[in-house]
Structure 1
Amino acid sequence: MPVFIKSFFHKHFPARQLLIRQNGEVKHVVLAPWLQVSVLTILFIAIAWISVSSIRVYMQTHQISHIEQTQLDKQVQWQQKVKQQQARYALQQEQLAELEQKQALLQGMIESLPASLSKDAIKLEDQLGSPVNESESGFHEPLEEDKTQNKHVQNSLTSFEQRYIMLNQQYDTNFTLLAAQINQRHDAILEILQDTGLENALAQHLALSMQTTAQGGPLDILDESKIPSNFLAIADKLLLLNQLESFLTALPNTLPLPAAKYYISSNFGLRKDPMNHRRAFHKGIDLAGWHKTEIFAPADGTVRRAGRNGGYGNFIELEHKNGVVTRFGHLNKINVKKGQAITKHDVIGLMGSTGRSTSTHLHYEVLIDDKPVNPLKITKALSRVW
């Protein structure tokens, strides 16, 4: 074996001479086999070290690039989640604003209901708060996967959606109940007014209500873009109903005497005149009672006439709203003056038998747009809607 190695070295690494010329002189340098082997070994080790180092640097660089790319991918995913959460939050805010506007409309309608409608069936939501507390500032970059937090957010979103659906169903039910009550009351009033011939008086009242009167206050309007049109239609119907109720309150819906203190001695319409027994038209009704029985105003109004008036004797004429006039004849005493404002149930005079009268009674007339109507018909009809 040594002979083989020795022959291998002599064959591949024979002694070599290097001629070096310097300053006109030539020098000989002998490169021994062991020196050649040593230089070659050093070169091989150097090349191997450089190769290994390069590979390690490359691997580290690749690993760093992979980590950076992974972080960038996570950042992109996080930003997408943030945008999705912000979109959900914005949608929830929009839905919450819609619920608040419905709540405001419903609350306002409840407060505006006339006394003739019941509020017991209506349920109101006292507080409307979003169960989702996360906001834009509440997001942070996830360093580790937080499954608990994600589950909590998902549960919050689910809770909000369930609450939103439940409240919408509740509002639909409430507005449906309101619509049924409002329509029933509205139709009943219109039917009564048509039966009593008060359509023109109603039209006059509605026209006057459109004019600007002594009204005002801070502007606090609803955002109608967030309220369904059918809810707004119900609100408009309620506004109209309140005008009808206001119209009713201004009408003489009671007779001017307590029920126990009179009886009807002559009805409205065609009759035989008590003096000459000829056919004649009676423009009112006669209410007989005790002498000096108190006569009450059947509605708010203003005294248009008060004094002697031919066959009426001592006479009072009251002007009410919407073209309605009431007249009172044969009074023993007049307690009011022309131009005086009268409140319903004020005592305006005492029963007597002055003028063209056979005995103590009150002659009572109701005129609508200067046309006489049957007071009993109006009183009975209006009593059905109170």
Structure 2
Amino acid sequence: MRTRLAIRIHSFLESTFPERRVFLKSDTDTRFIRLRPGTQLVAVTGMVAFVAWAIVATAIVLMDSIGSGNFREQAKRDQLTYRARIDDIAHERDTRAEEALAAQQRFNAALAQISMMQSELLTSETRRQELETGIEVIQTTLRQTMTQRDGTRAELEELRQDTKADWDTPMAAAAAPLQMDFLSTALSETATERDQIENDAREALEQRAEMELELELLNERNDQIFRQLEEAVAVSVAPLDKMFKNAGMPPDRILEQVRRGYSGQGGPLTPLALSTRGEEPSADELRANQILNQLDQLNLYRMAAQQAPFATPVNLNLVRQSSGYGYRRDPKTGGRRLHKGSDFAGRTGTDIFATADGIVTHAGWQSGYGKLVTIQHAFGIETKYAHNSNLRVKVGQRVSRGDHIADMGTTGRSTGTHLHYEVRVNGKPVNPMIYIKAARNVF
């Protein structure tokens, strides 16, 4: 079998690559080289492999060259995409700010309607009690009417029996015409009275059904008002609670401190007490009191937020943050040093604002800081605004969040126009961006 296969292969090679001889002739001798089919096959295979390798290598070089050009173009496209992304992020930030402002306006409108809704709740509760009393009166009247109707029917039946018995006597026959007239009149009056009682009962039932429907609609309206109030309060409280937690300020302790500090600002809201008979509060009263407690908590949150530095000291659209909080290479000495605040670079004279309500404790020159403004806030928090070119407040002055307190400059130990902004808690510096980022999308 192998011999036949070998013979067939040899025949195929002989027909494809016939044996060739290459003659080499010299002056004295003639020689030849025999190229057998197998040798020719190996030579052709080697040449094909070499040509294929050359083609592949050339293609790789060309692809690498084309790829380099594509990489540069891709880098340019990525750069354009990155810039477009930055623009989109800036637009989204502005949109978020507008949405936050709109949400604040909606919340203020909701607060303005709360007093009106409370009055509506009191009015609805009074109306509900009146309807319940009316239903009870109608039910009592209906029972009395039905009793009277049954009594009248019994008297009518008794009268019929008596009349039938009297008709069997001779005297009754003589007096029959008179008795018939009297009986007809009595029956007519009784029928009329019966019809009137039935009409009164029917009207009472209809009035009861209308009152029950009105009471059900009133309860549904009250429930809808409660749901709207609960949703509005929950949506308003959750961001503030998250903001204080992200800033490392325990909400319970902060609210208790603000509650103790009430001074001429109204005090907490008073719970509702709709019952004067010592009864257990209803479900609506409990819901109303819970909403009032949440509104009181929201009011405390807003007061606390005004007294903590959650705002930015400059308009972020006009400046850039040039350095953050933490250890860095000192721009003057070149050594490693703790940078106790955040730097915002901008043009000379850029407006600088107070980030929370407080009292100015320093407004003047201080070594290293240049022209410095220091404001003392609640909760042991203090903010510093350094390197200013002009100060617009004085020591002892009370300022509010957003007040214009200084102009940006490069006084003191500074390498260029910028604001050095510090936040200190109980005298220790903390990262100001903790407060600014915690308040993002809230104010």
Which TM-score band applies after superposition, normalised by the shorter structure?
0.5 to 0.7
Say whether 1:171 aligns with 2:222: yes
Q: Which residue of 2 aligns with 1:371?
A: 428
Residue 320 to residue 181, structure 1, CA distance change in 2 (3 Å) = same
List per-residue Cα deviations over 1:338-363 (Å, max 9, x = no partner).
10111333221221222211122111
Q: Give how far 1:285 is off.
A: 0.6
Match of 1:341 among 395, 398, 414: 398
Say whether 1:238 aligns with 2:295: yes
Residue 212 to residue 315, structure 1, CA distance change in 2 (3 Å) = closer
Q: Give how far 1:207 is off.
A: 2.5
Say whether 1:352 aligns with 2:345: no
State the AA in 2 paired with 1:372. Answer: P
List per-residue Cα deviations over 1:13-42 (Å, max 9, x = no partner).
xxxxxxxxxxxxxxxxxxxxxxxxxxxxxx
Alignment of structure 1 residues 1-386 onto 2, 5 Å: 114-115=107-108, 128=124, 129=127, 130=130, 144-145=193-194, 146-199=197-250, 203-210=253-260, 213-214=263-264, 221-223=272-274, 225-226=281-282, 227-386=284-443
Corresponding residue pairs, total:
270
Residue 317 to residue 180, structure 1, CA distance change in 2 (3 Å) = same
List per-residue Cα deviations over 1:228-270 (Å, max 9, x = no partner).
4344323322321232233223333332222233211111112
State the AA in 2 paired with 1:199. Answer: P
Which is further off, 175-184 or 258-267? 175-184
State the alpha-carbon separation in 2 of the partners of residues 194 and 183 from structure 1.
16
- In structure 1, the gaps of 5 or more residues are 1-112
State the alpha-carbon separation in 2 of the partners of residues 117 and 324 from structure 1.
32
State the alpha-carbon separation in 1 of the partners of residues 326 and 415 from structure 2.
19
State the alpha-carbon separation in 1 of the partners of residues 216 and 308 from structure 2.
45
State the alpha-carbon separation in 2 of the partners of residues 328 and 203 from structure 1.
28
Residue 270 to residue 321, structure 1, CA distance change in 2 (3 Å) = same
Residue 114 to residue 367, structure 1, CA distance change in 2 (3 Å) = farther
Q: Give how far 1:307 is off.
A: 1.3
Which structure dedicates a bigger proportion of its chain to helix? 2
State the alpha-carbon separation in 1 of the partners of residues 202 and 326 from structure 2.
82
Residue 159 to residue 372, structure 1, CA distance change in 2 (3 Å) = farther
- Please give the TM-score of this superposition, normalised by the length of structure 1: 0.59
State the alpha-carbon separation in 1 of the partners of residues 245 and 334 from structure 2.
34
Residue 238 to residue 216, structure 1, CA distance change in 2 (3 Å) = closer
Q: Percent identity?
A: 28
Indicate conservation of the 8 Å contact 2:135/2:211, yes or no: no
State the AA in 1 paired with 2:108. Answer: A
State the alpha-carbon separation in 2 of the partners of residues 177 and 291 from structure 1.
49
Residue 369 to residue 205, structure 1, CA distance change in 2 (3 Å) = farther
State the alpha-carbon separation in 2 of the partners of residues 134 and 186 from structure 1.
41
Indicate conservation of the 8 Å contact 1:198/1:368, yes or no: no
State the alpha-carbon separation in 1 of the partners of residues 204 and 431 from structure 2.
71
Indicate conservation of the 8 Å contact 1:286/1:362, yes or no: yes
State the AA in 1 paired with 2:258. Answer: L
Q: Secondary structure at the match of 1:321?
A: coil
Q: Which residue of 1 aligns with 2:180?
A: none
Indicate conservation of the 8 Å contact 2:360/2:396, yes or no: yes
Q: Which residue of 2 aligns with 1:20?
A: none
State the alpha-carbon separation in 1 of the partners of residues 409 and 266 from structure 2.
47
List per-residue Cα deviations over 1:89-147 (Å, max 9, x = no partner).
xxxxxxxxxxxxxxxxxxxxxxxx94397999xx96697445687998xx899894533
Indicate conservation of the 8 Å contact 2:388/2:411, yes or no: yes
Q: Secondary structure at the match of 1:259?
A: coil
Root-mean-square deviation (Å): 3.7
Displaced runs of 4+ in structure 1, greater than 6 A? 116-120, 123-127, 131-136, 139-143
State the AA in 2 paired with 1:320. Answer: H
State the alpha-carbon separation in 1 of the partners of residues 111 and 258 from structure 2.
28
Residue 375 to residue 229, structure 1, CA distance change in 2 (3 Å) = same
- Please give the TM-score of this superposition, normalised by the length of structure 2: 0.52
State the alpha-carbon separation in 2 of the partners of residues 203 and 369 from structure 1.
16
Q: Which residue of 1 aligns with 2:171?
A: none
State the alpha-carbon separation in 2 of the partners of residues 255 and 166 from structure 1.
49
State the AA in 2 paired with 1:229. Answer: L
State the AA in 1 paired with 2:259. Answer: S
Indicate conservation of the 8 Å contact 1:352/1:360, yes or no: yes
State the AA in 2 paired with 1:363. Answer: H
Residue 215 to residue 335, structure 1, CA distance change in 2 (3 Å) = closer
